[in-house]
Amino acid sequence: MGGLDAAFLYGETPAWHMHVSAVMVIDPSTAPGGFSIDRLEQLVVDRLPLVPPFRWKLVESPLGLGRPGWVDADDFDPAHHFRRTVCPPPGGPRELGELIGDLVALKLDRRRPLWEMWFIDGLAGGRAAILYKVHHAIIDGVSGAELATVLLDLQPEPNPPPPEIPETPDTRDRPHVVELLGRGMVYSALTPLRAARYAYQLADWGFTVARFLRHPEPPKVPFQAPRTSFNRAITPGRRVAFTEVPLDDVREIKHAFGVKVNDVVLALCAGTLRRYLERRGELPPEPLIAQVPVSLRGANEKTEIGNRVGAMFATLATDIDDPVERLVAIHRSTRHAKEMRRALDARKIMNLTDTTPPGLIALAARTYTSMGLDGRTPPVFNLIISNGPGPPMPLYTGGARVLSLLPMGPLLYGGGLNITVLSYCGAIHFGFLVCREAVPDPWPLAEGIGDALAELREAMDERTARSRRRARRPARTSSSPARKPKQAAAAPNAPRKSSASGTRDPQAATDSTQRNST
CA 516/CA 168 separation, integer angstroms: 65
pLDDT, residue 354, reads 73
CA 455/CA 324 separation, integer angstroms: 9
**CA 167 to each of CA 44, 159, 353: distance values in angstroms, whole numbers, following the listed order:** 19, 21, 30
Helix (H, G, I), strand (E, B) or coil at 407: strand
Closest CA to 285 of 354, 227, 241: 227
Task: Express as a percent the part of the chain with pLDDT over 70.
Answer: 84
Most confident among 176-190, 409-423, 482-496 (mean pLDDT): 409-423
Catalytic positions: 136
pLDDT, residue 488, reads 43
| DSSP annotation string for 325-348 | HHHHHHHHHHHHHHHHHHHHHTTT
Closest CA to 454 of 227, 313, 275: 275
**CB-CB contact of 416 with 435 (8 Å):** yes
pLDDT, residue 486, reads 46
CA 308/CA 380 separation, integer angstroms: 21
pLDDT, residue 310, reads 80
Helix axes 323-345, 261-279, angle to 10 degrees: 120
Helix (H, G, I), strand (E, B) or coil at 397: strand
Taking residues 154-161, report their average pLDDT. Answer: 84
pLDDT, residue 472, reads 79
Residue 353, CB-side half-sphere exposure with 13 Å CA sphere: 20
Task: Express as a percent the part of the chain with pLDDT over 90.
Answer: 46
Taking residues 68-73, report their average pLDDT. Answer: 86
CA 178/CA 175 separation, integer angstroms: 8
pLDDT digits (tens, 9 = 90+) for 179-232: 777 877 887 787 788 778 777 777 877 888 888 888 888 899 888 999 999 999
Is the confidence at residue 495, as pLDDT, over 60?
no
Q: Mean pLDDT lowest for which of 309-313, 428-432, 443-447?
A: 309-313
Is the confidence at residue 348, as pLDDT, over 80?
no
Taking residues 329-357, report their average pLDDT. Answer: 80
**CA 246 to each of CA 389, 424, 428: distance values in angstroms, whole numbers, following the listed order:** 14, 10, 6
Taking residues 23-50, report their average pLDDT. Answer: 91
CA 61/CA 63 separation, integer angstroms: 6
pLDDT digits (tens, 9 = 90+) for 136-154: 888 776 666 667 777 889 8
Length of the chain: 518
Query: 400 forms bridges with which residues in the sheet?
Result: 397
